Amino acid sequence: MQSTTTDLVTDTKFRVEFYSDLVHRFTIQSSSTPGQYVRRQERLDVWKKEKPVGSGSYGSVWLHRCLTSEDQGELQAVKMVNKTQLSSGGIDFCKELEAIAKFSQKKYLGLFVEYFGWYENEESMFIAMEYVQHGDLGSHLTVPLPENDAREIVFQIGEGLEHLHRNGFVHRDLKPENVFVVAKGPQWWVKIGDFGFSKRIKEDSSLRSMVGTRLFLAPEVQMIHPPGIDETSAIFHYTEKVDIWSLGVMAFYILFHEFPFTSNTPYALPKYVRGGPFPFPISPLVQMLSEECCRFMMAAMAPEASTRLSARGVLESNWLKQRAFDCVSGMGNLQISGETSSSTPRQAIQSRTAQLRESQSTITPSNYGKPPATPIYQPSNRMASTLQTTAVSPDSVNTILVQSNALSKGSHEEGEGPLAGQSYAKYSMSNRVSGEQQMNLGMLLSLRSAGHALLRQNKYAEAEVKYQVAFDGFKEAIGRQNEETLSCLNDLGNAIYYQNRFGAAERIWRQAYEGFNEAFGSQHPKTLSCLQHVGTALYGQAKYIEAESTCRVVYWERKRTLGPLHKDTLSTLQDIGDALFCQNKYTEAEAEYRQVYKARQRTLGERHQDTRLVLYKIGKALEYQKKYAQYQASIR
């Protein structure tokens, strides 16, 4: 390694042995038996290199699976970096290790991608990190996000930056591809990762190297300075405020799905820095944003670093202290009233943009605005994290038709209805289907599979079309009450939900719930799953009381049929906690979260991502009860 390895880095190095695509990793195992000393001993875990999940300038990231864990389900992302490339690029690998090791301590839980340790061979260095299933934020920004989503994401990144800067670190390459999504919207949970360019600020409180991604680089890093700045002394001298600029650009991109400054307009950034207007796009989206949101972006992207918001100023800004978009002012911005506006949409947008630009010169960190007295928290985990799609195979065509015929017959010798546990084999001869029927159903199954693939690629509108066509086809071919038809209807609800059309998703899921309930009964897993989805859609519409009561019905049925420790039971109980939290019932929410936490500790272990998630929620519930001592204890 290029520089002296600190104690923090040395203490996290694994002893390993390499065997083809396997890595034997040795760690010291200590006893957790209370009141009893047991000798510490070395533990061997075998990790298998499975598939690449990311790449960068200096290496790649691979998914590794632990073959010695109880269910072989423990996953980690291992960053592999070539030593020769590090050396030629002048990158100090030790500094990245120091940063991620420091910010993986328990008091920073939930803010940064967790680090487990590192190891090396002759050619490469390896960093073992938390595997974040939903990937980086950039892969989710295919369209502009609603303002509430942007606010939640920016707040969480700002919270991480505040800890980084307070400890004397600067990230220097903040962008969506270096922010990772633990839970998707509308209740986002994101973590900062990839500290490859991070650096500790020295005694002169300045940085010199020109690193980062140009679209997100602050003007001072690009040697572009406002009038009156001594450029000869300012060259390559900058502070942690470069991260705030990058955060402002991220907010801009999240809201508009375009960048404020690009290589196609090389003179736009110098013009802005030297006194030009803020580059709001000519877009209807500007009309829809709150005043506080627009002022935040201008304050975060102030041309002069000394007048730019600090990380603490970011968190104390009026925009991030709001819970949700002010519908009244938003309607005013959109000119929704009983009177008809005489201006064209383009004129209205230009007028709104001009007003914002006029206010730009008056925004400084000191007058940006005070936060409201009672901030309200939006839980970071989305209730829709339980949504699943079921893979289908063309091999099941005959079975689907057999089930359809069985349903049409009503009761059977072996029980009430076809889902009472009996086999459908006895219908296979009397209900032999034609080749044409098989071909038609095969096409419908392929359509549904295509919908699944599009959903995994976040192409929700395209997935909706596939599911709608497949549902209509199944309904005509095998009837509305067939399990395949109803499952396709449930999939359609998923695609609509992920487009933030919560009311429409609720209506679809209610239809699916009623269909499963009528055909298979109230206790069937798919019936309960659809009902929980209804609760999810109610939650998305801020109907928290209805969401709570709906999820309680699901919870009691699952607790009775699956048991209190089943993952689906616990998922529903966590949803109840979320709904209580958003009703400002923090004590009740904490109680539900604690039940989930204890059960997951027992079944999944302390380190599992779902266990850590609910611990994070307990901490937030304590914080909003102003139980600060307990909150601090929960994150240590």
Tell me if residue 253 falls in helix, strand or coil: helix
Residue 18 pLDDT grade (very low, low, confident, very high; cuts 50, 70, 90): very high
CA distance 333 to 342: 15
Query: Where, residue-wise, is CATH 1.25.40.10 in the chain?
Result: 440-635
- Whether pLDDT at 350 is above 90: no
CA dihedral sign, ordered 517, 520, 521, 526: negative
Q: How does 482-521 read in b/e, with b if 16+ C-beta sit within 10 Å?
A: bbbbbbbbbbbbbbbbbebbbebbbebbbbbbebbbebbe
Exposed, middle or buried, 210 (CB in 10 Å: 0-12/13-18/19+)?
middle
Contacts of 581 (CB under 8 A, 6+ apart): 377, 379, 589, 617, 620, 621, 624
CATH of domain 440-635: 1.25.40.10
Contacts of 344 (CB under 8 A, 6+ apart): none
- Whether pLDDT at 55 is above 50: yes
| CA-based nearest residue to 595, from 569, 620, 629 | 569
pLDDT in tens, 353-411: 556 555 555 554 445 443 333 333 333 334 444 444 444 443 444 444 444 444 444 43
Looking at residue 103, what is its pLDDT?
86
Q: Which fold has domain 135-321?
A: Transferase(Phosphotransferase); domain 1 (1.10.510)
**From its phi and psi, is residue 458 left (phi > 0), alpha (psi between -120 and 50) or beta?**
left
Looking at residue 425, what is its pLDDT?
32
> Higher confidence at residue 9 or residue 160?
160
Tell me if residue 48 falls in helix, strand or coil: strand
Looking at residue 527, what is its pLDDT?
93
- CB neighbours (10 Å) of residue 281? 16
Query: Where, residue-wise, is CATH 3.30.200.20 in the chain?
Result: 7-130
State what percent of residues in the chain have pLDDT above 90: 41
CA distance 390 to 54: 26
Q: Poorest-confidence range of 20-34, 183-197, 366-380, 453-467?
A: 366-380
Angle at 116 between CA 111 and CA 17, to 5 degrees: 160
Tell me if residue 70 falls in helix, strand or coil: coil
Looking at residue 510, what is its pLDDT?
94
Residue 69 pLDDT grade (very low, low, confident, very high; cuts 50, 70, 90): confident
Looking at residue 355, what is its pLDDT?
60
| CA-based nearest residue to 182, from 242, 110, 234 | 110
Give helix 241-256 / helix 147-166 axis angle, nearest 10°. 170
| CA-based nearest residue to 333, from 216, 325, 97 | 325
CA distance 58 to 92: 12
Write down how long the chain is: 636
CA dihedral 448, 451, 455, 458 (to 10 degrees): 180
Residue 202 DSSP label: -
- CB neighbours (10 Å) of residue 73? 10
Which residue, chain included where needed, has tokens 């991260």? 243
Looking at residue 455, what is its pLDDT?
86
- CB neighbours (10 Å) of residue 222? 15
How far is the CA of 60 from the CAs of 81, 425, 612, in angstroms?
7, 50, 27
User: If you classify domain 7-130 with CATH, what class do you get?
Assistant: alpha beta
Looking at residue 332, what is its pLDDT?
38
Give kind and range of the element (H or E) at residue 548.
Answer: helix 544-561
> Higher confidence at residue 337 or residue 104?
104
User: Are β-strands 75-82 and 115-120 bridged in parallel, bridged antiparallel, or unpaired?
Assistant: unpaired
Residues 597, 565 contacting (CB under 8 angstroms): no
Residue 120 DSSP label: E
Enumerate long-range contacts of 351-355, CB under 8 Å, 24 or more apart.
352/286, 352/287, 353/280, 353/282, 353/286
Query: Where, residue-wise, is CATH 1.10.510.10 in the chain?
Result: 135-321
Q: Return mean pLDDT, the chain.
A: 78
pLDDT in tens, 250-271: 999 999 999 999 888 888 999 9
Residues 480, 457 contacting (CB under 8 angstroms): no
Residues 543, 579 contacting (CB under 8 angstroms): no
- CB neighbours (10 Å) of residue 331? 12
- Whether pLDDT at 149 is above 80: yes
Helix then strand count (H, E) for the chain reads 24, 11
Q: Poorest-confidence range of 54-58, 123-127, 328-332, 457-461?
A: 328-332
Residues 80, 124 contacting (CB under 8 angstroms): yes
pLDDT in tens, 475-508: 888 888 888 899 999 999 999 998 888 899 999 9
| CA-based nearest residue to 178, from 247, 82, 110 | 247
Looking at residue 636, what is its pLDDT?
52
Looking at residue 57, what is its pLDDT?
61
> Higher confidence at residue 258 or residue 202?
258
CA distance 97 to 102: 8
Looking at residue 325, what is its pLDDT?
40
Residues 405, 429 contacting (CB under 8 angstroms): no
Query: Which amino acid type is present at position 508?
Result: I
pLDDT in tens, 307-343: 999 999 999 999 998 654 433 333 334 333 333 444 4
Looking at residue 610, what is its pLDDT?
85
> Higher confidence at residue 388 or residue 190?
190
Beta pairing partners, 174:
none
Looking at residue 234, what is its pLDDT?
44
130 φ/ψ angles, rounded to the nearest 5 degrees: -60, 135
> Higher confidence at residue 93 or residue 596?
596
CA distance 136 to 176: 7
Alpha helices in 90-131 (DSSP H): 93-102
Query: Which amino acid type is present at position 200?
Result: R
CA atoms in the 13 A half-sphere facing the CB of 344: 5
pLDDT in tens, 215-235: 999 998 888 888 876 554 444
72 φ/ψ angles, rounded to the nearest 5 degrees: 55, 30
> Higher confidence at residue 355 or residue 627?
627
Residues 600, 173 contacting (CB under 8 angstroms): no
- Average pLDDT over every residue of 597-606: 91
Residues 295, 314 contacting (CB under 8 angstroms): no
> Higher confidence at residue 467 or residue 349?
467
- Average pLDDT over every residue of 101-120: 88
